[in-house]
Copies of this chain bind each other. A is one copy, B any other.
């Protein structure tokens, strides 16, 4: 049986003891990181959230404590009262912040015992993530996981401090809302009180925050849970957290410059890092043109070069046909890669094929001169022109994709990222922020045979493009902006439509019948008629931001209790079956695929 605390009070955190504490008596509480017996003494590294300190049990200082300490194992929970002493010369541990001192124990309480954990409680532990998730309570004891959650806390705190000082109110919006037709798939919640009806969990508080602007709240924010029932390819979670912001009486510049100040503040407060006070702004068309991406990684060059005009008249049929058909031919100059093997070039070709490229033309600028399967289709003049346009030098590898612009961008944009990694062009310490602006408002979805909103249906068209809404909707640019960091989208937002007629036109362009628009968004359309201020906002993905700040590879490492890729909580075992009584009360029954029927009843 374990000891009770008996009024013992912790006086210090383990990790904060320094030489200055020498001579004072302290009471520490924490976990046994490890225990060693040496020279008739017992040494215990005691760990708490703040760090480690060495505790020494000596029969001469505390006989009872020493005897008790003999039973102590890893991860036991201890309370120790003792004296801080300077470590003898030669035993100082320079790698440990507390390494100049040790605590000689007078009194020991064993507050709880511990079985041997399934993995070591230390950084960089080599253990399967499924085991870490099942034993999350042990995984979260590891210092690197604690650091992630501490920075997450500090980041959220910094966001709130900044926004509070700038006149924003944090206002909570409902979690049980209505299912809407646009966007990703909703999670549904059957209503017990209203048989046959369902709530939906919010994909974002988009409409509520706009309603708050109609309400005259002027500056709103919320750090809020959102939900999307999508397949979890890539690094996604069914529930995620966003910093959601909306302001009235502003134009785009007001929002962007305030957000730049906020992001600087966050990085300073939570990480102690200084970042630039303002970020470059890149139009969408430029980002796609130069980097093949609307979230370009600006830590390195390797930009795309448009050579359509240069090659449109060559005898190479592929280039000619693409140029004639309104497509593009663009290239990347991989400096110093002329030596790439056939195998390496094949790998790159396969990579571009994933993104739809039908081939990857290339020119190797060897010391013996250019070598290329396509050179024979060029006149000398045409070839020289191409090399000059690509700024080719001996040692370079030039690669080209010819296709419609979206395929060229995706193929070369991803080729660029791959080359950046392979050639070690990416400085992991660098933070390259940029705003991508002037997004298209709509894109045509060939599958659904209708326009879909690139941001969402509430994004305002640019004033100068309003007239194109009728004549050429795909050309309309939006008052939308994304914040990009190191090739990752940190957040995005827009100025909103705040007139009923424009919002109705937008719904109609998106293929909503008037009845559908009224049924799902009638209250918003009506609200716009009662004095709606111009407004706009932005939302940041908190999980992804912390992941980038901490240099992690997955958002699961910055979420205390994440779901697996198959959307399960391995620790608590969710989701799970429920009782027939619960289903009955909710007026639903199971409708299982044939092979599962009978297995899940109850």
Interface residues of A (CB under 8 A from B): 2, 4-5, 7, 9-10, 29-32, 47-49, 75-77, 79, 111-115, 117, 135-141, 146, 149-150, 152-153, 156-157, 160, 164, 169-179, 185-201, 207-208, 211-212, 214-218, 225, 227, 229, 231, 238-239, 241, 248-251, 254, 463, 498-499, 523, 527, 529-534, 559-561, 563, 566-569, 571-578, 582-593, 596, 599-601
A507 to chain B, nearest CB (A): 16
Chain B CB within 10 Å, residue with most, of A138, A199, A211: A199
CA distance A138 to B30 in the complex (A): 54
A540 to chain B, nearest CB (A): 15
CA distance A364 to B235 in the complex (A): 76
> Given the interface contacts A75-B531, A178-B574, does A195 sit within 8 Å of B140 by beta carbon?
no
Measured between beta carbons, the chain B residues less than 8 angstroms from A498 are: 112
Output the nearest chain B residue to A49 by Cβ-Cβ distance. Answer: B218
CA distance A572 to B174 in the complex (A): 11
CA distance A569 to B180 in the complex (A): 14
CA distance A150 to B170 in the complex (A): 9
Measured between beta carbons, the chain B residues less than 8 angstroms from A153 are: 164, 169-171
A574 touches B177 (CB 8 A): yes
CA distance A483 to B87 in the complex (A): 47
B172 touches A463 (CB 8 A): no
CA distance A582 to B178 in the complex (A): 13
Output the nearest chain B residue to A9 by Cβ-Cβ distance. Answer: B254
Other A-B pairs, 15, CB within 8 Å; known A111-B533, A189-B189, A523-B571: A4-B463, A5-B251, A29-B249, A49-B218, A135-B530, A146-B216, A153-B171, A174-B239, A175-B225, A178-B573, A190-B588, A196-B599, A196-B600, A198-B576, A208-B561
Output the nearest chain B residue to A1 by Cβ-Cβ distance. Answer: B499
A325 to chain B, nearest CB (A): 37
B560 touches A173 (CB 8 A): yes
A-B interface, 10 closest residue pairs, ranked by CB to CB distance from nearest: A196-B600, A114-B531, A140-B215, A178-B574, A197-B575, A75-B531, A191-B575, A137-B214, A153-B169, A589-B591
Chain B CB within 10 Å, residue with most, of A176, A238, A573: A176
A177 touches B217 (CB 8 A): no
Measured between beta carbons, the chain B residues less than 8 angstroms from A174 are: 239, 561, 563, 569, 574
